[in-house]
C-alpha cells in the first residue's frame, strides 16, 4: 500500500520513490504532542531526502471516541504515506522536511486506508527489511498479530 510507493510530482512530472523509514513519538525528540512518520523520497539517481509527516496525538483519542477503534502503528504509517502521496500529486509538496496533518486529515486518511485494506489484518507488516523476507521471519510475531500459529524466527538468518 503506502509503505513503499511511486508517485508523480504535479509540477516537475518526476517520478518519486517514497519508502517508509520509521515512526517516532515526537514528545521524546522535539517535545511535541505528535507522532512523526519518516519517509525517504528519491527522484531518479538523486540522493533521497527525508520527509516527516507529523500526526497530532489527539487524533488517536478522537479516532477511539468516534469509531471505537484505535490507530495502530501500521495504520499510522499507511495513512501518513497516503497523505504524502496526496500532497505530492496535488503540488502541495514544496520541499519542506516536515508536514503537519490536522486531526481531521488523520481521521480522513485513516478511514480511506481502512476502506482500501478492509481490516487491520490486511495492512502490510512493518518494518520492511527485505522485499523477499517477511519481518515475522526475522523478529517473530508481534503480540497484536494474534491470528494463526506463532512462528519462531530461525536461530541464524542472513539478510
Contacts of 16 (CB under 8 A, 6+ apart): 6, 7, 8, 9, 41, 42, 43, 88
Q: By C-alpha distance, which of 24, 23, 5 is closest to 116?
A: 5
Sheet holding 4-8, edge to edge: 4-8, 15-25, 34-43, 49-56, 98-100
**Mean pLDDT across 136-145:** 54
Q: How many residues does the chain have?
A: 159
> Across-strand partners of 100?
54
d(CA 130, CA 141): 16
Q: pLDDT grade, residue 150 (50/70/90)? A: low
**Mean pLDDT across 100-115:** 95
Greatest CA separation for the chain: 49
Judge whether 159 and 130 are in contact, CB under 8 Å: yes
Judge whether 113 and 82 are in contact, CB under 8 Å: yes
Q: What is the pTM of this model?
A: 0.78
Residue 151 clears pLDDT 60, i.e. is over it: no
Contacts of 111 (CB under 8 A, 6+ apart): none
**Mean pLDDT across 108-120:** 92
d(CA 34, CA 84): 17
pLDDT of residue 44: 82
Q: Report percent pLDDT > 90 for the chain.
A: 50
C-alpha cell at 10: 504535479
Amino acid at each position: 500500500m503506502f509503505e513503499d510507493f511511486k508517485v508523480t510530482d504535479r509540477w516537475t512530472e518526476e517520478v518519486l520513490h517514497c519508502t517508509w523509514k520509521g515512526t517516532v513519538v515526537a514528545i521524546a525528540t522535539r517535545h511535541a504532542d505528535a507522532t512523526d512518520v519518516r519517509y525517504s523520497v528519491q527522484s531518479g539517481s538523486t540522493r533521497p531526502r527525508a520527509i516527516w509527516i507529523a500526526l497530532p496525538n489527539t487524533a488517536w483519542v478522537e479516532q477511539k471516541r468516534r469509531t471505537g477503534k484505535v490507530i495502530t502503528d501500521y495504520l499510522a504509517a499507511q495513512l501518513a504515506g497516503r497523505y504524502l502521496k496526496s500532497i505530492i500529486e496535488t503540488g502541495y509538496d514544496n520541499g519542506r522536511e516536515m508536514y503537519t496533518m490536522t486531526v481531521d486529515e488523520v481521521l480522513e486518511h485513516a478511514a480511506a486506508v481502512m476502506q482500501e485494506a478492509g481490516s487491520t489484518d490486511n495492512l502490510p507488516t512493518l518494518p520492511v527489511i527485505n522485499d523477499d523476507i517477511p519481518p515475522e521471519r526475522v523478529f517473530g510475531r508481534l503480540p497484536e498479530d494474534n491470528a494463526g500459529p506463532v512462528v519462531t524466527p530461525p536461530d541464524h538468518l542472513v539478510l
